[in-house]
Amino acid sequence: DQQVKQNSPSLSVQEGRISILNCDYTNSMFDYFLWYKKYPAEGPTFLISISSIKDKNEDGRFTVFLNKSAKHLSLHIVPSQPGDSAVYFCAASPIIQGAQKLVFGQGTRLTINP
């Protein structure tokens, strides 16, 4: 049962254009959402997050949008750069006591073409 889904395994975007990565979730108990970036043979690195009390969070070229009614979030990267080529994982955290357990999607491989 995949609670966090990234339905696009790959995405190809031209340098300078906008990259939009999508993520859907099913568990209404999720209240915190994150995006991670991963290069081959390295651990994921945190990019940006959003709490369920917000619908948008911006950090430089990265913006995350949250649509709670649709249980959908998206990551916008603009303008896209060659160094953005990586696998992007969406993650969600449920409202629980104790450990902040992260549930991840399958990942989307983003390729930025020059």
Position 56 contacts another protein (CB under 8 A): no
Please report which helix (H) or strand (E) contains residue 45, including its range.
strand 45-51
Can you tell me which residue has the tokens 């990267």?
77
Q: Binder to another protein among 49, 57, 81, 111 (CB under 8 A)?
A: 49
What tokens were used for 53? Answer: 């009390």
Task: Tell the smallest beta-carbon distance from residue 14 to another protein (Å).
Answer: 26
Summarize the chain as % helix, strand, coil (round to 5): 5, 55, 40
Question: Which member of 60, 69, 70, 98 binds another protein (CB under 8 A)?
Answer: 98
Give the binding site for another protein (CB under 8 A): 4, 6, 9, 32, 34, 36, 41-46, 49, 51, 89, 91, 93, 97-107
